């Protein structure tokens, strides 16, 4: 038993951590955080367990977490197993009738329920739903155009059952908050005629955060955060900084739509957006409850 005893130094370190966290617990009590959960953090068993315990702890100290999860790799694996061909245009999966049925099955089925079960096992009270439940996310068909480099003519791209949020109806989320329930949302929306649409999880999280006036929008990614041209982490950015970095080519590829979502959230009342490396154990707690935080924060600045 003696080998398990903590040293005085260990005890002092734990006390220091708790003392640092306490002001943030007070500051964020009663606040709502929308968290986009995906990437390596969701696929790694240990990280997934850490995430679940972090969410349960946040709820226990008075924060209201809302989780929106992705599932691209899991969808791809199921389509491959069923020998259903899948293609992409500009990073978006072309989703025909056969594909949308698999997308909904994977996102709203085992994937969603595994996250729910993990949070419940960690001491939280989570309930899984999709954007179709309670008409939470009403969507319109996503419109994309592409200009032909030779003829300079724009053509409309048909992505099938891929949607973008048109209306968020947060009443169901408000009732969950009143009953201390943690919502775990699959990014599936409902169209004007009751059709099912696939939604990019980042986009869904940003629109939900904006609609409910969340304090924070947090995106877990597989990168450290937003990097400069020398691959150094940029810890704090304003919308003006983001626009400048995009114009000079510093921000490229998949980071562009993530930051566009963050800016949309800030324009609609969210206090701050965070892009975090989901591969770091307990990254949510490090960002929320430590003085210097972690990753990249996009905030309104001093204006």
> What pLDDT tens digit does each residue of the chain (303 aa) get?
445 667 777 677 667 767 777 777 777 888 999 999 988 788 889 999 999 999 999 999 999 999 999 988 888 889 889 988 877 776 667 788 888 999 999 999 999 999 999 999 999 999 999 999 999 999 999 876 666 566 556 656 677 888 999 999 999 999 999 999 999 999 999 999 899 999 999 999 999 999 999 999 999 998 899 999 889 999 999 999 999 999 998 988 888 889 999 999 999 999 999 999 999 999 999 888 887 778 999 998 764
Determine the pLDDT at residue 147. Answer: 60
Specify if 59 maps to a domain.
yes
Bridge-based pairing state of the strands 32-37 and 64-69: parallel
In a domain, 226, yes or no: yes
Cα distances (angstroms) measured from residue 56 to each of 41, 114, 173, 183, 249? 16, 15, 17, 12, 39
Tell me if 284 sits within 8 A of 55, measured CB to CB: yes
* Paired tokens of 142: 């996503």
Residue 6's pLDDT is what? Answer: 72
Q: Which domain holds residue 174?
A: 28-138+167-299
* In a domain? residue 281: yes
pLDDT of residue 4: 60
Question: Sign of the C-alpha dihedral, residues 242, 247, 250, 252?
Answer: positive
Q: Are 38 and 201 in contact (CB under 8 A)?
A: yes
Q: Are 292 and 59 in contact (CB under 8 A)?
A: no
Q: What is the CATH number of the domain that holds 96?
A: 3.40.1160.10
When divided into structural domains, the chain yields a total of: 1
Task: Tell whether 206 is covered by a domain.
Answer: yes
Domain contains 295 = yes
pLDDT of residue 153: 60
Question: Is 87 a domain residue?
Answer: yes
Residue 80 maps to a domain: yes
In a domain, 241, yes or no: yes
């Amino acid at each position: 038993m003696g080998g398990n005893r903590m040293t005085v130094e260990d005890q002092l370190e734990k006390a220091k951590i708790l003392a640092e966290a306490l002001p943030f617990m007070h500051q964020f009590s009663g606040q709502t955080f929308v968290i986009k959960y995906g990437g390596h953090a969701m696929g790694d068993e240990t990280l997934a367990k850490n995430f679940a315990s972090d969410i349960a702890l946040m709820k226990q100290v008075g924060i209201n977490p809302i989780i929106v999860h992705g599932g691209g790799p899991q969808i791809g694996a199921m389509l491959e197993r069923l020998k259903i061909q899948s293609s992409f245009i500009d990073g978006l999966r072309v989703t025909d009738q056969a594909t949308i049925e698999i997308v909904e099955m994977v996102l709203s089925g085992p994937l969603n329920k595994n996250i729910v079960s993990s949070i419940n096992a960690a001491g939280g009270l989570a309930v899984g739903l999709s954007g179709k439940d309670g008409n939470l996310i009403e969507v319109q068909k996503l419109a994309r155009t592409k200009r032909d480099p030779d003829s300079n003519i724009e053509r409309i791209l048909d992505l099938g059952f891929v949607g973008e949020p048109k209306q968020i109806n947060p009443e169901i989320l408000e009732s969950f908050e009143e009953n201390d329930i943690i919502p775990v949302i699959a990014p599936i929306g409902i169209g004007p005629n009751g059709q099912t649409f696939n939604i990019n999880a980042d986009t869904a999280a940003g629109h939900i955060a904006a609609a409910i006036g969340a304090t924070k929008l947090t995106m877990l990614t597989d990168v450290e955060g937003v990097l400069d041209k020398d691959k150094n982490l940029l810890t704090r950015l304003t919308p003006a900084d983001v626009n400048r970095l995009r114009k000079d080519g510093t921000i490229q590829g998949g980071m562009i739509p993530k930051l566009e979502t963050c800016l949309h959230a800030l324009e609609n009342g969210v206090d701050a957006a965070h892009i975090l490396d989901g591969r770091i154990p307990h990254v949510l707690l490090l960002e929320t409850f430590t003085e210097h935080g972690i990753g990249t924060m996009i905030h309104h600045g001093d204006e």
